[in-house]
Structure 1
Amino acid sequence: MTVQEAHDTDSGVRLRAGDAEVTVDPENGCRISSLRIGGTEVLRQGERYGSFVMAPWCGRTRQGRFLNGGERYQLPVTAGEHAIHGTVRNVPWRTARSDERTASFYRDLTDPWPWPGRVTQVVELAEDGSGLTLTLGVETIGDSFPAQAGWHPWFLRNLGRGGRDVELDFSPAWQEERGEDHLPTGRRVEPRPGPWDDCFGMPDGVDVTLTWPGELELKVTSRAEWVVVYDEQAEAVCVEPQTGPPDGLNSHPRLVTPIDPLEVSTTWSWRRPD
């Protein structure tokens, strides 16, 4: 029996450390379908939820159009008049390797993305079960192309144990002004009160704390400088570290070349009250 076979089940790849258990579903976009801490589920359940990968772009791309080297490309429009959340969140991935607390996965970039490439994700539980690190890579097999990468986790607003709803704490340097089409206008404004479906700039790195009072504190950190916060649904709150803002293929393109792939990590660390 191989290492992969020992941990790859019909319901996904399960990782365990301390009192934490993570389930990854390679067949459904390599999303984190479950994160249980001390037996309590933290992520909203359902095939659209958990925590999914956004690549090779994040959020909405305006009318699905962007430029590369002066040439215009058209992506399929999937959200109103825009293209949203990349191409890999609903398709099967391959499991490269897994053991008790670490697993790696990959998905080749194909049509409708105009260039061949690959997206990888490494999922690693801390040895003591106190945190989870996710690492994404986007690489090209040939020509260079602009790209973004990030995560879209759906954290439960309430853990369902009779406690209070989650509270968010973060200190962004600015908020991207949002237009009526839900895309940044290009203006940076002072952070405004929620509810949000908004992108914030954190040039020193993403640092957001979610607290379920008396139950759990979970911190989302990343060297990425952008985070989208979405808390307009009753069931969940999304804190999305990403390498650029919505429509970033146009406004903040990061070129992926054969010698310079795009790499980004996020760590979720948690503690429970004593």
Structure 2
Amino acid sequence: MDVTAHDVQDTDSGVRLRAGGTEVTVDPAHGCRISSLRIDGTEVLRQGERYGAFVMVPWCGRTRQGRFLNGGERYQLPVTAGQHAIHGTVRGVPWHTVRSDGRTASFYRDLTDPWPWPGRVTQVVELAEDGGGLTLTLGVETTGDSFPAQAGWHPWFLRNLGQGGQDVVLDFAPAWQEERGEDHIPTGRRVEPRPGPWDDCFGMPDGVDVTLTWPGELELKVASRAEWVVVYDEQPEAVCVEPQTGPPDGLNSHPRLVTPIDPLEVSTVWSWRRPA
């Protein structure tokens, strides 16, 4: 995924994409987060302290005690959530905008300390021509030695759209649920999917396919060829549906090696429609 052209000057309000009745705002200064998704004037992503949809790279969710192995050597990441390292290193740092044409934009961020290896993360954000969908594509490449990595997204979808309607309803059919230990790390056992509330990882080997429905208002589908999704709905304001290339602690349990000839790439497509 080539996004190595000259940088584009960002505005304080971020990069805005528009098509049909949809407006998307990307905030490169704060981790290349999708800070807003407005469909026909209705905001779909939570605003405030925990907002939008952020990138998780080079790992997703929690890494147990911040430790993982690569080639038999142990590495230590900063512990940022209780006793664990969480959600990667790029979600709170500035990214560079490469190009933006009003409907598509490209960004990059170099991997540096505290990640042990040099590399680059890219994100392409593309709004459908009719404004009925959004495609996000992440690439992770090494500029040195090979390393294990994961990639994914953590969107905060509003539980209620604030227009007098009902709360969102989730519909998905995972093949299994990763059993979660008391430390919020998968135990390695796969169990039958259990009812929520969830802060849990699910396996979808045919690809992530989750539908969020705000009855009578909006239906939004989250799809990806990624085979894991974390669903987090324990907060009253928002519901998170997080496609990712491996489960929490995946640097240890499901390492995917990024090599000079084999980068990691993953996409997610959000598509939506109003009820008839």
Aligned to 1:191: 193
**Equivalences for 1:164-175 in 2 at 5 Å?**
164-175=166-177
2:138 matched residue in structure 1 = 136
| Structure 2 equivalent of residue 78 of structure 1 | 80
Partner AA of 1:246 in structure 2? P
Matching residue's letter, 1:181: D
Amino acid in the other structure paired with 1:213: P
Residue 233 of structure 1 aligns with which residue?
235
SS in 2 for 1:9: coil
Partner Cα distance (1:218, 1:142) in 2: 39
1:205 corresponds to: 207
Q: Return the alpha-carbon distance in structure 2 between the equivalents of residues 207 and 167 of structure 1.
A: 14
Q: Percent identity?
A: 90
* CA apart distance, 1:100: 1.0
The corresponding residue for 1:153 is 155
Specify every segment of 5 or more residues in structure 2 that has no aligned partner in the other structure, as ranges.
1-5
Q: Which amino acid aligns with 1:127?
A: E
SS at match of 2:156: strand
User: What is aligned with 2:3?
Assistant: none
What TM-score do the two structures reach when normalised by structure 1?
0.97
8 Å CA contact retained: 2:7, 2:96: no
Which letter maps to 2:75?
Y
Query: SS at 1:27's partner residue?
Result: helix
Q: State which of 96, 101, 104 in structure 1 corresponds to 2:103.
A: 101
**1:49 aligns with one of 43, 48, 51:** 51
Which residue type is aligned with residue 124 of structure 1? E
**Aligned with residue 123 of structure 1, among 101, 106, 125:** 125
Alignment pair present for 1:252 and 2:254:
yes
CA distance in 1, matches of 2:147, 2:204: 25
Distance 2:7 2:169 in 1: 39
* Preserved CA contact (<8 Å) 2:175 2:205: yes
For residues 86-142 of structure 1, the C-alpha deviation after alignment (integer angstroms, 9 at most, x for no partner) is: 000000000011011000000000000000000000000000000000000000001
Query: In the alignment, which residue of structure 2 is the partner of 1:14?
Result: 16
Asked if 1:60 is matched to 2:62, the reply is yes
Hey, what's the Cα distance between the residues in 1 that align with 2:160 and 2:144?
A: 46
- Structure 1: runs of 5+ lacking an equivalent: none
TM-score of the superposition, structure 2-length normalised?
0.97
The two structures, once aligned, show a CA RMSD in angstroms of 1.1
